[in-house]
């Protein structure tokens, strides 16, 4: 298995632009998680899906952030409009079930908003 695949690896965009981050989970994994890593807050959970359904989006910082999982093999995290404070590394992870067992992370997308 290729693991969790995220794209792009790096994204530089101007403030106000729309940014879309993509994630392909491991085949057969039922849960997908989006995390954001910053120096100030470490790894914080933004949203997670179970069987393609959003379960908890309380970590999404603002309405500018949205996430979708149209099918079991694809998820997107969209920021519109982007702001410099959104600059961070965004990780996607998947697991066979809701819990911690088998959590596998992608390599992340480093987002820079200038």
Provide the binding-site residues for another protein, judged by CB under 8 A.
Answer: 4, 33, 35, 39, 41-45, 48, 56, 91, 93, 97-101, 103-108
> Which of 66/104 has CB closer to another protein?
104
Report d(CA 43, CA 103) in Å as an integer. 14
In the Cβ-directed half-sphere of 73, how many Cα atoms lie within 13 Å?
Answer: 2
Least distance in Å: CB of 91 to another protein? 6
Q: What are phi and psi of 72, to 5 degrees?
A: -70, -10
Nearest CB to another protein, comparing residues 13 and 44:
44
Minimal distance, residue 67 CB to another protein, in Å: 14
**C-beta closer to another protein: residue 28 or 42:** 42
Query: Which H or E element spans position 56?
Result: strand 53-56
Percent composition of the chain: helix, strand, coil (DSSP 3-state, to 5)? 5, 55, 45
At closest approach, how far in Å is the CB of 111 from another protein? Answer: 14
């Amino acid at each position: 298995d290729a693991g969790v695949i995220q794209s792009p690896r790096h994204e530089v965009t101007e403030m106000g632009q729309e940014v879309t981050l993509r994630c392909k989970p491991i085949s057969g994994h039922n849960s997908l998680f989006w995390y954001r890593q910053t120096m100030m807050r470490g790894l914080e959970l933004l949203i997670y899906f179970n069987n393609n359904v959003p379960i908890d989006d309380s970590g999404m910082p603002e309405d500018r952030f949205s996430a979708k999982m149209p099918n079991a093999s694809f998820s997107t995290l969209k920021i519109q409009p982007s702001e410099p404070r959104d600059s961070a590394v965004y990780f996607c992870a998947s697991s066979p079930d809701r819990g911690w067992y088998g959590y596998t992370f992608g390599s992340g997308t480093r987002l820079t908003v200038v």
